[in-house]
Structure 1
Amino acid sequence: MIRPLSRTSLVLDIVGAFVLFAVLVPTSLAFYAPGNLSTTVPEAVGIGGLVVAAVLQCGAVAIGRLAPGIALAVAWAGALVQMAAGLGPLPINVAILGVLYAAAAWGTTRVFWAGLVSSFVGGVIAATYITFSNDQFVGVGISSTVASFVLIAFMSILALGSPWLGGFGWRMVLRWRVSREAQTRAELATAEEQERVRIARDMHDVVAHSLAVIVAQSDGARYAAASSPEVAVEALGTISQTARSALSDVRMLLTQLRHRQGDGPQPTIADLEQLFAQVRQAGVEPRVTVDPMPPGEPPGAIQLAVYRILQEALTNAIRHGSGGAVDIRLAWLPDRVEVEVRNAVAVAQVVGAPGGHGLVGMRERAQLVGGSLRAERTGDEFVVHAALPIGATQPSEGRA
């Protein structure tokens, strides 16, 4: 019944209604000068009815946005008072147009349709009142009376329906704004969710691999400390080097988070040798086969995806594998690159649980570049296979 409305808007509506009353009442009194108010109603009754009708109709304008349904009912009451006083159309009826606009623009669904019905019913009642009151068409033929009634009804409905249509248009604008704001909020929420996923994926890729190497080296150093101090010293050196590399990667990641994802250097296939060296230091020997070789310079996004997928697959091999060698195959075909990583696992070892962040991250890396990834256990091996489209490549000779 009552809509939330700011105090400023309510004050403006009330002031506007007072101004409307102050302008339209004298105009209506001048339009219907004493002696012309009605042929059947006393002059005092006519003037009193005009003032009361003006108060009701202008008052309805004052609460049009605050309570459109109540305003529509009050406007109807003013119109009935006006007809009861024997008054025809007056300048004060301009206020009714504002109420119909408010009903269409801000009313509930019921008030909205009530405003439309009021436009038609009000037009018919006005035409009936004008046509058959005060004997204005006495002595004319039936056909002329009907024609006059139809014409007046059409004009009345058009006059009352026009502001309702205007309010309907504004209602659509308001709904479009609400829908647009909701869409904007949804897009922002989606962007934030994608950013959180990217942060989680990058943190996992950067930190998990280095921590896996550090844990493996720490365990080896602890066991070798008593019998082979030199091996422990070498392991500690590897731990220090890996930790520094991880710290550098984290700093690069933080730089990207402060700016944009594309800022700062990203790992490429040229950095794979360093990755393989870290894996060897952790006690796992990568056996790498590249056939065929890249026909040119692969896109940067593909190189990053290949690096991150291999990094996570090798991290899983260090953490869940049974040790020994890991077979890596890279096939740089004209339209795609295929990546396959195989490592032996213990019989009772569960590798790559469905809820693991690593497998999710690898699949997301592949999907981001339009590729696919499959990771599954086959017998005593865990196999990761990815196919990434590369499209056209640039000749390596063109590099600086």
Structure 2
Amino acid sequence: MFRSVSRAWLVVDIIGAVVGFAVTTPLSLAMYGAFSSTWLGDGPVAVVLNIIVAVVLWGAAAISRLSPRLALIIAWVGAVIQMGAGLPPNAGDAAILIVLFATAAWGTRRLLWIGGASALGGGLIGGLYFALVGSGELLTDAASAMRAALIGALMASVFVLTMVMSWGVGLLWRVFLNGRETQVARAQAELLAAEEQERVRIARDMHDIVAHSLAVVIAQADGARYAAATAPELATEALTTIGQTARSALSDVRLLLTQLRHRQGDGPQPTLADLESLFAQVRQAGVEPRITVDPMPPGEPPGAIQLAVYRILQEALTNAIRHGDGTVDVHLAWLDDRVDVRVSNAVAERQGTTSGGHGLIGMRERAQLVGGSLQAAEEDAGTFVVRASLPIGGTA
């Protein structure tokens, strides 16, 4: 029955209704005095009834935004009182137009059409009432009946047109409000989607960096523990590698956290030129990658493709460090329209399947982001293979 309306708008509506009552009531009384002989008369009862009807109608206008349904009911009550008392249409009836506007602008869908029917039916009833009561002549013959019918048709047309126009303006305002709400909702949805994509990207980068760096650190730490007793210089070298890897990972993590905290754009991303550093870290972790590139890139691949290749190789080599037996084969085929990536390693410790952890999910997302595909599964003879095909398109 009641809508949620701010106190400021409610005060504005009440003040507007009071001003409307103060302006239209003297005009209504003046108009009534000029035609009182035709209607009820010019006694105090007529004046009081005019004021009562004005109070009812402008009261309905005051709450039309808060409760369009209740306002329409009150407006109909005021109109019935007005016609039942034999009072003419007057300036105070402008409040009815405000109520019709409110039913179309803020009412429910059902009330919207009830308001439209009220505008049409109220106009016809008002025209008929004016013809029968306000024409000032008795229907004694066909000529008087014809005149009354013409007056009624004319006044009904005026009333219907005025009321339907007021209701139609409210309908246009309703359409405008719905369109604005749709735009706001679309903008919020797009913002949430962009934020979610950014969180997923940062989480994916964080996993790729941390998982790879920790795998290298763990492998070096295990090697240093065994080498400490027999070859202290190897242990020292392993600790140096651990420190370098940890500092590099810490720098990358700080960059990602800065982007997350301050909504900055992407920082420097790894390219094909950084693959040698990646392979060097893998060698330091005790895994010797056998690398084949055939054919070579025909030009400078797009940055997104370079990043995807780097991250997929990084995660695949990390899995080889954690679960392999120390050997891994890497094959890159840079074709005219795509790059095929294949990483295989013998399984010393069972790896996850294609529905495994975040690493395999991240690799698959990397491929999908550039329009490619990726499969990762353990094949025959205990070999785990990662295959990816990434479309290149035109090269720079």
Q: What is the TM-score with the length of structure 1 in the denominator?
A: 0.92
Deviations 1:226-269 (A, max 9, x none): 23323222222221222222223223333444353433x22111
1:260 alignment counterpart: 264
% identity of equivalent residues? 58
Please give the alpha-carbon distance, in whole angstroms, between the structure 1 residues aligned to 2:255 and 2:55: 72
Distance of 1:143 and 1:382 partners within structure 2 = 99
Alignment of 1:160 onto 2:159: no
What is the Cα deviation at residue 357 of structure 1?
Answer: 0.8
Shift of 1:46: 2.4
Q: How far apart, in 2, do the equivalents of 1:164 and 1:356 lie?
A: 60
Aligned 1:108-127 pairs, distance under 5 A: 108-127=108-127
Tell me the alpha carbon deviations over residues 73-117 of structure 1, each in whole angstroms, 9 at most, x when there is no partner: 111111111112212211111111111111211223333222112
Contact 1:376-1:383 within 8 A present in 2 as well: yes
What is the CA distance between 1:145 and its match in structure 2?
A: 4.9
1:359-385 Cα shifts (integer Å, max 9, x gaps): 111111111112111111111111111
Answering whether residue 94 of structure 2 is matched by residue 90 of structure 1, we say no
The equivalences for 1:181-192 within 5 A come to 181-192=184-195
Q: Secondary structure at the match of 1:376?
A: strand
Amino acid paired to 1:160: M
Asked if 2 retains the 8 angstrom alpha-carbon contact of 1:312 and 1:362, the reply is: yes
Give 1:357's aligned residue. 358
Aligned counterpart, 2:303: 300
* 1:330 alignment counterpart: 332
Give distance in 1, aligned partners of 2:294 and 2:198.
36
54-63 or 244-253, larger mean C-alpha shift: 244-253
User: Are residue 68 (structure 1) and residue 71 (structure 2) matched?
Assistant: no
Q: Cα deviation per residue 1:339-361 (whole Å; 9 max; x = unaligned)?
A: 11011113x61334614111111
Partner Cα separation in structure 2 for residue 110 and residue 137 of structure 1: 41
Alpha-carbon distance, 1:133 to partner:
2.2
In structure 2, distance between residues paired with 1:315 and 1:377: 16
Report the Cα distance in structure 1 between the residues aligned to 2:35 and 2:137, rounded to whole angstroms: 17
For the residues of structure 2 that align with 1:187 and 1:2, how far apart are their CA atoms?
A: 32
Structure 1 counterpart of 2:25:
25
Given the superposition, is the C-alpha separation of residues 35 and 377 from structure 1 closer, same or farther in structure 2, using an over 3 Å criterion? Answer: closer
Q: What SS class does the counterpart of residue 33 from structure 2 fall into?
A: coil
**CA shift for structure 1 position 140:** 4.0
Segment drifting more, 105-114 vs 292-301: 105-114
Which residue of 2 is the match for residue 343 of structure 1? Answer: 345
1:389 aligned residue: 391
Letter in 2 for 1:368: L
1:189-268 alignment, distance < 5 Å: 189-257=192-260, 258-263=262-267, 265-268=268-271
Helix, strand or coil at the partner of 1:294: coil
Once the 2 structures are TM-superposed, how far is the Cα of residue 41 of structure 1 from its aligned partner?
5.4
Contact 1:21 1:92 in 2 (8 A): yes
User: How far apart in 2 are the matches of 1:352 and 1:199?
Assistant: 24
CA pair 283-43 structure 1, distance change in 2 beyond 3 A: same
Partners of 1:218 and 1:39 lie apart in 2 by 106
* Paired amino acid for 1:115: G
Per-residue deviation, 1:58: 1.1
**1:235–1:147 Cα change, 3 Å:** same
| Cα distance in 2 between the residues matched to 1:70 and 1:130 | 26
- Contact 1:343/1:383 (8 A) holds in 2: yes
Q: Separation in 1 of the partners of 2:39 and 2:116?
A: 33
Query: Within the alignment, does 1:53 sit opposite 2:56 as a pair?
Result: no
Residue type at the aligned position of 2:18: F
* 2:379 aligned partner: 378
Name the CA distance, whole Å, in 1 between partners of 2:129 and 2:372. Answer: 76
1-structure distance, mates of 2:322, 2:205: 19
CA contact (8 A) 2:128 2:153 kept: no
AA in 2 matched with 1:235: A
Q: Which letter does structure 2 place at the counterpart of 1:61?
A: A
Measured at CA, do residues 343 and 384 of structure 1 come closer, stay the same or move farther in structure 2, by a change above 3 Å? Answer: same
Out of 228-237 and 361-370, give the one that drifted further.
228-237
* Aligned residue pair count: 391
Q: Aligned-residue CA RMSD in angstroms?
A: 2.0
What secondary structure sits across from 1:5 in the alignment? coil
SS in 2 for 1:32: helix
Shift of 1:3: 1.8
Instruction: Report the Cα distance in structure 2 between the residues aligned to 1:352 and 1:140, rounded to whole angstroms.
Output: 96
- Structure 1 unmatched ranges of 5 or more: 395-400
Cα contact 1:37–1:46 (8 A) shared by 2: no
Cα distance in 1 for partners of 2:322, 2:10 equals 68
SS at match of 2:355: coil
Q: Could you say if the C-alpha distance between residues 221 and 185 of structure 1 is closer, same or farther in structure 2, counting changes exceeding 3 Å?
A: same
- SS of aligned partner of 1:64: coil
Instruction: State how far apart, in whole Å, the 2-side matches of 1:261 and 1:311 are.
Output: 23
Paired letter, 2:375: R
